[in-house]
């Protein structure tokens, strides 16, 4: 079977080459690109994100990347956000008093975790949602996190006939936060699959497997 083409969005975010390597290891033909046609036509799009919410949003808007993400999702074409690439999918992010508008694909605000030590850095277990495709065969694995902020509430009210999103949570500090979301063609992880060893490669492979039928 042909390796699915996965575009890794190049908009100036750091730590993207490790994501490309992990996607290749997971079975994709992964390409770091800012080419708009390739981003739109690829079987899958990965939106990485490192650093502050506002900086990532500024870079996405400067490259008009939000238009590409919207167009892909409108056509039901898969998108995967990673770390801050997940956070910016929500309506807003508040970091140290700075309130920034996000992409607004999901309602809600990303806020600082209520924990005695920040950032939340290192390996942690997650509670995968029932029927999760991303976590198939990974129900007891640990994943690598590096963040101080997260989505601590889920506010999207989905009505039939649309399926309910699959939510995966993680506990750190006083309140749980979303570790992953699977919502139709849009998926995201707060942790870094590319830094999570074989468990992360398997998770990316599960996502890539879903690309074969998503674009038929």
Of 73, 47, 71, 72, nearest to 59 by C-alpha is: 47
Decide: 26 and 37 in contact? Cβ < 8 Å. no
Instruction: List Cβ neighbours of 124 (8 Å cut-off, separation of 6 or more).
Output: 142, 143, 145, 170, 171, 172, 191
What residue has token string 């074969």?
212
Decide: 78 and 155 in contact? Cβ < 8 Å. no
Q: Which residues are catalytic?
A: 83, 192, 194
């Amino acid at each position: 079977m042909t390796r699915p083409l996965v575009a890794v969005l190049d908009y100036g975010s750091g730590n993207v080459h490790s994501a490309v390597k992990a996607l290749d290891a997971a079975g994709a033909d992964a390409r770091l690109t800012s080419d708009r046609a390739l981003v739109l036509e690829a079987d899958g799009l990965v939106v990485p994100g490192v650093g502050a919410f506002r900086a990532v949003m500024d870079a996405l808007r400067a490259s008009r990347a939000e238009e590409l993400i919207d167009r892909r999702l409108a056509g039901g074409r898969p998108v995967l956000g990673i770390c801050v690439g997940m956070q910016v999918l929500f309506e807003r992010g508040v970091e140290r008093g700075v309130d920034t508008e996000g992409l607004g694909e999901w309602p809600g605000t990303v806020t600082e975790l209520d924990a005695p030590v920040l950032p939340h850095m290192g390996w942690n277990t997650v509670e995968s949602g029932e029927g999760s495709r991303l976590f198939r065969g990974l129900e007891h694995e640990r994943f690598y996190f590096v963040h101080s902020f997260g989505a601590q509430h889920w506010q999207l009210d989905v009505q039939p006939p649309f399926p309910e999103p699959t939510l995966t949570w993680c506990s750190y500090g006083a309140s749980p936060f979303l570790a992953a979301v699977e919502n139709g063609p849009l998926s995201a992880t707060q942790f870094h699959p590319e830094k999570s060893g074989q468990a992360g490669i398997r998770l990316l492979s599960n996502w890539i497997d879903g690309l074969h039928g998503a674009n038929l």
